[in-house]
Structure 1
Amino acid sequence: MPSPTDSKLANVGINDPEHFKDLTLYNSSLLNIRICPSDSDVTAFYVDNSVLEPNTPNITLYNGADSKAPIIGAVHLTLTSTNTIGLGNPTTDPNGVIWEKLERVSKWSHATYQFNYSINAPGPAAKYTWKRVSKTPIIGNYSLQLVEESKPDVVLAAFMTGSGVRVKTRGRLLIREGNGELWERMVLLTALSVIELTRRRLRRRRFR
């Protein structure tokens, strides 16, 4: 996937890309995703999106190239209420999973989602917001920006939908470095949640 132009990065509030982990999301199948560093073809994470299997996570994040790799996160989604984000493996270590909520801010819009998370536990959890910074997606083109509520001018992450061959790329995710591996995984899981919720809404519109 080609690097975004400086103007596109500016649109999501990033003017120091050298301080961000840069990831590209590729479509592995109709639903699933593989995630690579943007300068590499090596798959760092595999994402299984499930919509049909009952009593299973809607999103499962694997730390490796496919679903045989260790599970490091899981998500339970709903289009109308609170989504649940889990850091860890709920299959092998359910008591060790850190659960957080990802909630829509507005009853009437899907443009903003919030979650609480404490980077350096113990301590008070901070509130973080994923917000859409482009027009309402019609054919799947949109951008997202992550900020902390108390520091709204500091962009912590951003997602931009893919350009070029849409059947190949889902988009590009940049995560600010320096807050630790667990934080980066929480950002990744919440971003994947918003992306998948958007995909489901767009699909419902097409088939109405």
Structure 2
Amino acid sequence: MSKLEIPITEIENFIYCLEVVPDANSTETTEVLTILEDMALQQQITSIYKACDTIEDLEDSINHLLYDDHHFQDYEMIYLVLPGEANNILINGYYYSIEEIAELFEGKMDGKVIHFANKKLLDLTDDESQYFLDVTGARAISGYGVSSAHMTSAFTLDRLFFSLFYENDDLKEVVERLFYKQYKLCQLLDFRLYY
């Protein structure tokens, strides 16, 4: 009887994704979840996905991640797929400011990279970005200056950004490589990184 050799990796790569959807109890698979599943199969980048339809649900998901998930330290990327305008997010018909979101994450995102999909644009002043980083403890915040309901960042740029980040966590080099590989799309969606 031969023994099956299973390769053991030193670090597992985790993305924690929170997506706002119209109905969190729906069994319909979103395109973001499909992409995350494909990334797990093709690139061995593991993710946890949670659909939310209220601000309370979003807060509960964050608290579950922090207090009940023993792998929290392994999540380097917090991926937020939240609709909205400018520096507000829209959940269940209500707008919440980026400052309110920072307060939800207060002191809980130490060393994490928080990445917003292009369902909302991210256009922070230096003071706003510094406030968000200081309040949350995050290492960086990234997203796009152009939001689009018709052109999702998830298929190409988000996926490439995550992949490059897990190859090399030097954010400056990751952004340089991202622009090198997808310059036109980075320009079109106006990729941004605040750190």
Determine if the TM-score, normalized by the shorter chain, exceeds 0.5: no
- Tell me the TM-score normalised to structure 2 length: 0.32
Bigger helix share: 2
Which structure's residues are more often strand, by fraction? 1
